[in-house]
């Protein structure tokens, strides 16, 4: 079984954003703004990459989609960041319809149609999955392969984890257990089916296929910052984040291979927002 992950890294898609722009140049100007790109690289290095490097099952492919217009210094920096992640494949695409381009990106790394089932997941460049995510996704996919007798595809929803903000003081988090949340949401396709995880809106997967839900351990981190696409519209309620204590940092290191000392170092020269502290209230410790 082939396991494929997809990460859109500041790709200037046509559609696919909650906040739209009047033209491709306007979108590129927004995406490639220095402050935004610096934040993207920091969160990608601090949150996304460590657990991918530490996967207990390293047999997976991660497709990282960028725009052909990504400035060369950013592309070089991205290549350097993933140089020690052999599963990473960087693909550059011109602007195009979001879902169509992402489907093409995934299909470009898929094996022959008759080779076997395909388990796929998608993640943003500030998300993270637990170190055993690929292992558990593959195990659940194989355990429920009998569903293929009646269905072309089914979903595996590992929905427990954290919303997290990284800064020069470490991580501030809020527990989450929302259904059908990317990144630890997989879709498993029967052999010969050329659809991809990008054919479906993640929140509506249950309308199209069976969903196996697992909430027994922390499996995902969803990044929270000023440049989240979902946070650019008016009226978005803030998330109450609380600073991890020492036990919480140990838990994050164990489940996600994220070293909070490294998080602090990566963000040590970041410009802090004037919106006030992101960690009111008590510390947050481990959940299991």
Domain edges within the chain: 2-266
- Tokens encoding 58: 């390293």
pLDDT reported for residue 273: 36
Nearest to 263 by CA among 5, 33, 51, 80: 51
pLDDT reported for residue 271: 44
Q: Which residues contact 254 (CB under 8 A, 6 or more apart)?
A: none
CATH 3.40.50 correct for 2-266: no
pLDDT reported for residue 21: 60
Nearest to 159 by CA among 134, 137, 135, 185: 185
Distance of alpha carbon 140 from alpha carbon 150, whole angstroms: 17
pLDDT reported for residue 239: 86
Distance of alpha carbon 124 from alpha carbon 228, whole angstroms: 10
pLDDT reported for residue 263: 97
pTM for the predicted model, two decimal places: 0.88
pLDDT reported for residue 14: 83
Q: Which residues contact 134 (CB under 8 A, 6 or more apart)?
A: 3, 55, 56, 57, 58, 59, 60
Task: Return the number of other C-beta atoms located less than 10 Å from residue 42's C-beta.
Answer: 19
Residue ranges of the chain whose pLDDT lies below 50: 18, 228-233, 271-283, 286
- Tokens encoding 220: 């995902």
Q: What is the DSSP letter of 19?
A: S
Distance of alpha carbon 274 from alpha carbon 131, whole angstroms: 34
Instruction: Answer for the pair 98, 13: CB distance below 8 angstroms, yes or no.
Output: yes
- Tokens encoding 176: 């989450």
Distance of alpha carbon 265 from alpha carbon 239, whole angstroms: 24
Q: Which residues contact 73 (CB under 8 A, 6 or more apart)?
A: none
pLDDT reported for residue 15: 65
pLDDT reported for residue 238: 76
pLDDT reported for residue 235: 57
Angle CA(52)–CA(54)–CA(57) in degrees, nearest 5? Answer: 85
């Amino acid at each position: 079984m082939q396991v494929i992950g997809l990460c859109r890294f500041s790709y200037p898609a046509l559609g696919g954003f909650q906040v739209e722009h009047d033209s491709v140049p306007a979108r590129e100007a927004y995406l490639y703004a220095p402050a935004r790109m610096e934040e993207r690289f920091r969160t990608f290095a601090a949150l996304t990459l460590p657990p991918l490097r530490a996967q207990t099952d390293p047999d997976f492919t991660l497709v990282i989609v960028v725009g052909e217009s990504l400035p060369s210094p950013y592309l070089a920096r991205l290549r350097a960041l993933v140089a020690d992640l052999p599963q990473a494949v960087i693909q550059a695409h011109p602007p195009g319809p979001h879902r169509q381009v992402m489907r093409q990106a995934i299909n470009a790394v898929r094996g022959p149609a008759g080779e076997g089932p395909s388990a796929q997941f998608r993640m943003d460049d500030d998300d993270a999955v637990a170190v055993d995510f690929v292992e558990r996704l593959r195990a659940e996919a194989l355990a429920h392969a009998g569903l293929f007798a009646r269905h072309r595809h089914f979903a595996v929803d590992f929905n427990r984890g954290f919303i997290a903000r990284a800064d020069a003081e470490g991580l501030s988090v809020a527990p989450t257990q929302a259904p059908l949340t990317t990144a630890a949401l997989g879709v498993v396709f029967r052999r010969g089916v050329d659809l991809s995880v990008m054919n479906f809106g993640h929140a509506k997967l249950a309308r199209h296929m069976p969903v196996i839900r697992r909430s027994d351990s922390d499996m995902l981190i969803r990044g929270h910052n000023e440049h989240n696409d979902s946070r650019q519209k008016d009226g978005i309620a803030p998330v109450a984040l609380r600073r991890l204590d020492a036990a919480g940092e140990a838990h994050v290191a164990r489940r996600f291979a994220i070293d909070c000392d490294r998080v602090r170092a990566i963000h040590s020269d970041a410009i802090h927002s004037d919106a006030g502290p992101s960690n009111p209230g008590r510390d947050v410790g481990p959940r299991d």
